[in-house]
A and B are shown apart, each in its own frame.
Chain A
Amino acid sequence: MEGWVIAIIKVVFIWVWVLLIATVMTWVERRGAAMMQDRLGPNRAGPFGLFQPLADGIKLFTKEEVLPKKAHKVLWNLGPLLFALPAFSAYAVVPFGDKIILGGKEIILQVSDVNIGFLYVLAIGSLAVYGIVLGGWGSNNKFSILGGLRSTAQLISYEVPLGLALLAVVFVYGSFSLRDIALAQQGTFLGFLPNWGVFKQPLGFILYMVAIYAEANRVPFDLPEAESEIVAGYHTEYGSMELGLYLFGEYVNLVTLSTLVVVLYFGAWHIPYIDISKFLGPVSWGIVSFLILYLKVAFFLWLFVWVRWTIPRFRYDQVMGLGWKALIPLALFNLFITALFIQLSA
C-alpha cells in the first residue's frame, strides 16, 4: 500500500512540475523572442509579464468552442486529447533526480524504473502523431490535411534516426533503463572527459538533437504548422482550450525531450569531476540532484527558443531529404561504429 501512495505522490508531483515548466516556457519563449528581436514582449500581467501564461490560459478556457460545420465531431475532439496524452505519459519512466531517503526508506526520483523504460519513451513518442493526424483530418480543411500529412511523413521519417541514435546509447551503457544510463554517467573516462553520453556518442548526440527538433515540430522543422504556407496546419480550425491543448502539449513535449537529452547525453544529475552526493545529506542530495538536472534541462529548453528565433524553416522535400538521405545513414553508421568499438573493447 505504501508503495502505491509513494507512486501516486511522485506522479502528481512530476505532473505539476512539468506543467509548471511548460507554463513558464510559454512565457520564456515570448520574452526570449522579444529579447532577441529588440522589443519588450509581454510585460503587463504581473512582474515582467510573468502572469501572462495564466491570462492566456484563462482566455483559452473561456473562449467559445467553434466546431466547423463539416468537421468530423468525434475525431475532431479526439485530436487534441491524443496529442496531449502521450506528451504527459512519457514522463512515467524519465528520472527527475537521483534518490531521496525519507524515514529510512529509499525513494528513487522516477515514477517507475522499468528496464525497458527507454523503449517505452520511444513507443509513446510514436503515438503523438495521431493527435496531429486526427486534428488535421477531423477539421475537414485542406490546409489542415496538408499539415497532418506533412506531420505524419515527418514524424515517421525522424523517428527512425531518433531510435537509431538512442540505440547507440544503449549499446554504450548496456541497459534499457533510463536510471541505469543516468547512473552510469558518473566519473570520467580516458582520464579527463566526463563520463557523459555526449562525449561517448558525439555523432549520436547531434543526430538526436536534430531528430527531436523534428519530433517536437519546432523551427526549422515546424512544417506541420508553417503559418506562412498552410495557415496553421493541423490546428487551423481549432480554438479555445482545444487549441490550448495542442499548444500546451507541444511545450510538455519539449520538456520531456529536453529531459531525455540531459539524462542520456548530459550526465543527468552529475557534475563533472565532483561527486557532490558525498558532501550532502541524503535528503538534500535528492533535492540538489533534482535541481542540477533541471538546470541542464533549462539550458536545452532555452536552446529550443534560441533556435526558433534564429533560423528559417525548411521546405517539405528538404526535410524529407535530410531525414532519409543524411540522418538515417549517419545514424546507421554511428550504430555500426559503436558496435565495433564495443566488440573490440570487450
Chain B
Amino acid sequence: MEDLRERVEKCLGPKGLVVAMTECRGDLSVEVPKARLLDVMHLLKDTPDLEFDFLSDVFGVDNLAFYEKQKPKKKPEGEETEVKKEKGPPPPRFEVIYLLLSLKRTERLQVKVRVAEDDMEVDSVTSIWKAATWPEREAFDMFGLRFKGHPNLKRLLMWDEFPAYPLRKDYPLEGRGEERHLVYGE
C-alpha cells in the first residue's frame, strides 16, 4: 500500500486540487482551493483508495496573529525592514479545517481551505456529511464564516442577537468585546 500522502497526491494532484500539503507528527493535512471544496470532498469520499467516509469535525481558525508570531524575533534591527519587504500580500485570514477519517483504513486526513476576510463564504459540506451541521453553525457563530447551502445557518452557542464573533483573535479577553465596537456587520 502506498503512503497516504502519495495516494492523496495521486487523487487530487492531477486535477490541480492541491494547494499545499504538510505533515506534522504523522498528521497529514492538505490545503485545497476554496472554490472546489465540494469536488475535493466528493473525490476523497468516493475514490476507492481513500474512502474518507466519516467527517470527524469542522472548525475555523483565525490566523490574524499566527504569522506575526512566527516571524523570527532574533533578527538584528537593520534586517527587519528587509523582512517586511519580502512579505507579499498577507495570507488569507481564516482557515476552515475538516477532519476526515476513513473507517475502513482508520486513516485520518485534515483538509484545509483558506478564507479571506473579504470573502467569507465557503461551500457547506452538509450535503455530503450531515455531521457538519452544527460544527459549521459554530464556525459561523465564532468566526463569522458563512457556509453556502447550509440548511439552518444561525448562531449555535451564542444567542441570536450577539453582535460579535468571539473566537476571532481580535476579540479581547477582558471586558465585553462586543461593546468595544467590534461589530461585524452581516
Whether the complex brings A and B within 8 Å at their CB atoms is answered no
Residues of chain B touching chain A, judged by Cβ–Cβ distance below 8 Å, are: none
